Amino acid sequence: MGKALTWVALGMGAVLVVGGCGTSGAPKVEQDSKAPLELWTRTTPGGDGEKGMKKLAAAFEAKTGQKIQVTAIFDDFETKLSQRAAQKDLPDIVMNDSSQLGTMVSQGIVREVDLSKVPGTDQLLESALSSAKAGDGKVYGVPYSAQASALLIRKDWRAKTGLPVPKTWEQFTALAKAFTTQDPDGNGKSDTYGLAVPGSTKRGYASWYFSNFLWAAGGDFIAKQPDGHYKPAMSTPESTAAVKWFRDLACTDKVIQPGAATMDTPPTNETFEAGKTGMYVVGPYLMPRFDKSLGKDKYEVVPMPKGAKDSTVLAEGGSVYLMAGSANEAAQNSFASYVISPEGQKLGMEGDKAFSVQLPVNKSVDVTTVRDDPRWKVYADVYRDHARYAPSIPNWTPIRQDSADTINALIADCGLNLETEMSTLDGKLSAALSKQGVGAS
């Protein structure tokens, strides 16, 4: 045995020596205006998202003669990007969620965008551009697409209950209850539910979904202080009331689909498609899918009802990230410029499925000129009037993760004390904020 332990010790020693060879510093790369661009996009390989992006890239190639190679990756996108970062060989352009900005900036893998070198950025909507600003006030991405959440309702179910499109949370709850108890699909079983909720903690879904309700109630995850630092805000009366209301949907009214606490988005989408749930708060990207699986005439798209404060919903979007260490920064700039130009935006929105731009971010482009579908107008109006992005702090993920854990716990375990959970969550958020150096003391 003694001998075996010696071997183990030797092995561990070797491990430490091998591992000790660290590396540091971002390399400066010699520029080559002919170097082809490598573009990564976070979408399903072989899917419509990839087709849309390839179409856009091809148009850019045709216009400028600059070669560009599109790679679609969906699973573990960030992990794969980290691997390439470790090899000091990043793709030139990454098109990913705007909410990834903080993480990417703190890893040092995106370069700052010099707006004067990207023509057309003055045409960007204010709110979209602000989503590309990091905590230090500098711009690290070029937003090219935007989206907001709206409410999807089963039209035929609502007709059956005779209830109006909900304008307030009371009407919303009433409709959800009617969908749950009045057998709207008429199959004689009580197997339908009012609201579809992806309540799993995966990628922080529970928190992501709940933000639509939290902000409308006047609550917040974290609150910015006058000195620019942040304080946790989940135990304020407004936030607590929002959580209580949302939790009652699951625990008291029981209008949320069973199993919500362990569902991420794919199974939740299925409950809506399969006629098990009657309402769903989502972005426009699911419309092509539901049009096909459920039928365009079966559901309606309306703005979210007004909460205690207003009808604020979650805004999200995609940004073009110009990655560090590229050999062709000029082409990076011109690609970003092309995507946000009216021509690029319109091209990106074309098609029923294979579109890469959800809502335009360029002021001069109107979504209705490309798509005459009035549902897109609903989304565009909601985005313009009521949408709000997650705050720009160095790393939003831990905040989203911690709050998702708590929301998930509260809808799964109806016996938990809400106030205690909220103050525990505030403690966690406070720790996460100070770890990132943005916590208010």
Binding site for another protein (CB under 8 A): 1, 3-4, 7-8, 12, 14-16, 18-20, 22-26, 76, 78-79, 82-83, 85-86, 88, 90, 103, 106-109, 189, 191, 199-204, 258-262, 264, 267, 324-325, 395, 397-398, 401, 405, 408-409, 411-413, 416
Q: Minimum distance between the CB of residue 230 and another protein, rounded to whole angstroms? A: 17
Cα–Cα dist 399/389, whole Å: 14
d(Cα 65, Cα 61) in Å, to the nearest integer? 5
φ, ψ at 170 (rounded to 5°): -65, -45
Residue 8 or residue 159: which is nearer to another protein going by CB?
A: 8
Report the C-alpha dihedral over residues 180, 184, 187, 191, rounded to 10 degrees: -20
Cβ closest to another protein, residue 90 vs residue 304: 90
Exposed, middle or buried: residue 6 (CB in 10 Å: 0-12, 13-18, 19+)? exposed
Question: Nearest distance from residue 437's CB to another protein, in Å?
Answer: 13
118 Cβ contact partners less than 8 Å away, ≥ 6 residues apart: 142, 333, 336, 337, 340
- Minimum CB distance to another protein, residue 78 (Å): 7
Minimum distance from residue 63 beta carbon to another protein (Å): 31
> Of 27 and 65, which has the nearer Cβ to another protein?
27
Residue whose pair of structure tokens reads 């335009």 in the numeric block: 360
Residue 194: CB minimum distance to another protein, A: 15
User: Rounded distance, CA 206 to CA 128, Å?
Assistant: 24
83 versus 369: smaller Cβ distance to another protein = 83
Q: Are 412 and 201 in contact (CB under 8 A)?
A: no
Instruction: Indicate the pairing of strand 277-282 with strand 230-232.
Output: unpaired
**Closest CB to another protein among residues 26, 58:** 26
Q: Does residue 164 contact residue 155 with C-beta atoms inside 8 Å?
A: no
Q: Which residue has the tokens 């190639």?
A: 61
Query: Among residues 221 and 338, whose Cβ is nearest to another protein?
Result: 221
Nearest-approach distance from CB 389 to another protein, in angstroms: 19
- Please state the closest distance from residue 252 (CB atom) to another protein, in A: 16
Q: Which is nearer to another protein, 262 or 364 (CB)?
A: 262
Two tokens, residue 323: 């990655």
Yes or no: say if 399 and 221 are a contact pair by the CB < 8 Å rule.
yes
Which among 198, 243, 178, 227 is positioned nearest to 424, based on CA atoms?
243
Cα 368 from Cα 278, distance rounded (Å): 27
Question: How near is the Cβ of 322 to another protein at its closest, in Å?
Answer: 14
- Asked if residue 69 lies in contact with residue 37, where contact means CB atoms within 8 angstroms, the answer is yes
Closest to another protein by CB, 300 or 405: 405
Instruction: Give the nearest distance from C-beta 413 to another protein in angstroms.
Output: 5
Minimal distance, residue 86 CB to another protein, in Å = 4
Nearer to another protein, 39 or 432 (CB): 432
Shortest Å, Cβ 95 to another protein? 19
- Please tell me the distance from the alpha carbon of residue 318 to that of residue 238, in angstroms, as a whole number: 30
DSSP string, 122-191: GGB-HHHHHTTB-TTS-B--EEEEEEE-EEEEEHHHHHHHTPPPP-BHHHHHHHHHHHHHS-TT-SSS--
Q: Which is nearer to another protein, 23 or 116 (CB)?
A: 23
Kindly tell me the burial class for residue 204, based on how many C-beta atoms sit within 10 Å of its own C-beta (0-12, 13-18, 19 or more): buried
Place of tokens 């003694």: 2
* Closer residue to another protein, CB minimum distance, 18 or 62: 18
